[in-house]
C-alpha cells in the first residue's frame, strides 16, 4: 500500500495547529497570516483584506537601486520542498505609477537556495491574458530559473518554450497549481485539467529548497490559501 502524501495547509483563516505523520515535521497553518515570519528579499509584506478574504500583500522595495541592478523580489517561507505540489490563490496588478512595461507579475518560486537568489519560479503576467495582441497573450505565463535563466534569455534562445497563453483577469484571484517531480514541472491555472505550461528540463536551481511568494517590478500582489503537498520518497 502506498503511503499517503503529507498535506501541509497554510491557510490565512485557520489557527495554528500541528499535523503528525511519520517522518514529517510539524506544520504551522498560520504561516501566511504573519508577515514577520517571512524572509523578505527586496519586498515589503503586510496583512490585507483583498476581494473578500485575508491575504498577504507584497510590493517591491528597491529604493535607491543602482541603474541596471537586478533585484530578486520574493518573500521566502520556512518550508522546503523537493518534489510535490504547490497550490495558491494569487492576484497581481501594475502598481500605481508603474511604467508601461509593468504587467502585474505574480507567481510562486520554489527550490529557493539559502542566498534567496537562486530558484525556479512560475509566474503570470495578468495584463497579457486579455490583451488585444496575440503575441502578448502568448506571454501570459512564464517559467524562469534565476539567476542563470531569466525570462529574456529563455525567450531569446527558445522562443515560446517556457511561456504560454492562458486566460487571465487582471487583479482577480487566480488559482495556480505547480507540480514538481524528477526535474520536471507543470503549471495549472484556475483548475485546468491539463497543464498550461510544461517544463521538461528544469534548469539550474538546486534540486530542493524553500518556497517563496514571487513578484516582479512595478507590481502590487496578494497571496492566499497556500497549500504544499510533498511527494513521499520512493
Distances in whole angstroms, Cα of residue 46 to Cα of each of 13, 113, 186, 222: 15, 24, 29, 10
Please report the pLDDT score of residue 36 as a whole number.
Answer: 87
- Residue of 230, 187, 233 lying closest to 211 (CA atoms): 230
Please report the pLDDT score of residue 70 as a whole number.
Answer: 57
- Residue pair 104/129 in contact (Cβ under 8 Å)? The answer is no
Architecture of the domain made up of 8-230? Sandwich (2.60)
- Tens digit of each residue's pLDDT, the chain (234 residues): 444 443 344 444 333 332 233 333 333 334 577 888 899 999 999 999 999 999 999 999 865 444 445 578 999 999 899 999 999 999 999 999 998 999 999 999 999 999 999 999 999 999 999 999 999 999 999 999 999 999 999 999 999 999 999 999 999 999 999 999 999 999 999 999 999 999 999 998 889 999 999 999 999 999 999 999 999 876
**pTM reported for the whole predicted model:** 0.86
Please report the pLDDT score of residue 92 as a whole number.
Answer: 98
Strands 119-124, 106-112: pairing kind: antiparallel
Burial code (b: 16+ CB inside 10 Å, e: under 16) for 21-38 equals eeeeeebbbebbbebeeb
Tally Cβ neighbours within 10 Å of residue 44.
12
Residue length, the chain? 234
Amino acid at each position: 500500500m502506498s503511503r499517503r502524501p503529507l498535506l501541509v495547509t497554510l491557510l490565512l483563516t485557520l489557527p495554528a495547529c500541528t499535523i503528525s505523520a511519520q517522518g514529517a515535521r510539524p506544520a504551522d497553518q498560520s504561516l501566511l497570516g504573519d508577515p514577520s515570519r517571512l524572509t523578505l528579499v527586496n519586498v515589503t509584506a503586510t496583512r490585507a483584506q483583498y476581494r473578500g478574504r485575508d491575504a498577504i500583500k507584497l510590493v517591491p522595495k528597491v529604493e535607491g537601486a543602482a541603474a541596471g541592478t537586478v533585484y530578486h523580489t520574493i518573500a521566502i517561507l520556512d518550508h522546503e520542498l523537493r518534489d510535490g505540489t504547490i497550490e495558491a490563490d494569487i492576484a497581481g496588478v501594475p502598481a500605481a505609477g508603474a511604467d508601461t512595461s509593468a504587467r502585474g507579475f505574480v507567481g510562486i518560486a520554489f527550490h529557493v537556495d539559502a542566498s534567496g537568489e537562486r530558484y525556479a519560479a512560475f509566474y503570470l503576467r495578468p495584463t497579457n491574458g486579455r490583451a488585444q495582441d496575440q503575441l502578448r497573450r502568448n506571454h501570459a505565463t512564464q517559467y524562469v530559473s534565476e539567476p542563470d535563466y531569466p525570462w529574456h534569455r529563455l525567450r531569446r534562445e527558445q522562443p515560446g518554450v517556457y511561456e504560454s497563453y492562458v486566460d487571465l483577469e487582471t487583479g482577480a484571484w487566480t488559482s495556480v497549481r505547480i507540480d514538481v517531480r524528477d526535474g520536471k514541472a507543470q503549471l495549472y491555472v484556475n483548475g485546468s485539467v491539463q497543464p498550461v505550461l510544461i517544463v521538461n528540463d528544469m534548469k539550474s536551481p538546486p534540486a530542493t529548497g524553500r518556497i517563496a511568494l514571487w513578484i516582479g517590478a512595478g507590481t502590487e500582489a496578494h497571496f492566499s490559501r497556500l497549500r504544499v503537498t510533498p511527494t513521499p520518497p520512493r
